[in-house]
Amino acid sequence: MVRKLLLLSLGWFFATSANAGTCRGEACRYTQFGTDKEGCIEIRNSGREDIEVKVYSAGSGPITMRIASGDTEKVYKTGRVCVPAADYVRSDAKLAGGIFAPSR
């Protein structure tokens, strides 16, 4: 039982550090990446300020999106097709600040 708990905690640690290693920029500490039930990338902003994240994936060019404080957004390509989590390569995140206004 103790061995299983140790293995689970180590697995969680390595998964977390792998995610952190693929994000660059000052806002990465507030950014968590996840997968929704369809297998698409979701990004959560746990900070107090809005952030701007540029996502690089194997299947499309870079996608830039603003995420409001405390919000979670799904990453979409052109035509509202979501980006699969398996295609995620890396991202850059920076603090956007100010009042959240969706980019157009």
The domain segmentation of the chain, as residue ranges, is 2-95
At residue 21, the pLDDT reads 52
CATH of domain 2-95: 2.60.40
Give the separation between CA 79 and CA 77, rounded to whole angstroms: 6
Give the separation between CA 104 and CA 96, rounded to whole angstroms: 15
Give the separation between CA 13 and CA 97, rounded to whole angstroms: 30
Residue 104 clears pLDDT 50, i.e. is over it:
no
Higher pLDDT, 2 or 71: 71
At residue 18, the pLDDT reads 41
Residue 102 clears pLDDT 80, i.e. is over it:
no
At residue 76, the pLDDT reads 92
- In sequence order, what DSSP letters do the residues of 39-88 get, joined into one string? SBEEEEE-SSS-EEEEEEESSS--EEEEE-TT-EEE-B-TTSPBPBGGGE
For 4-17, how does the pLDDT look when each residue is reduced to its tens digit (9 = 90+)?
A: 554 444 444 334 33
> In the chain, how many H helices and how many E strands?
1, 7
At residue 9, the pLDDT reads 47
For 34-51, how does the pLDDT look when each residue is reduced to its tens digit (9 = 90+)?
A: 999 999 999 999 999 999
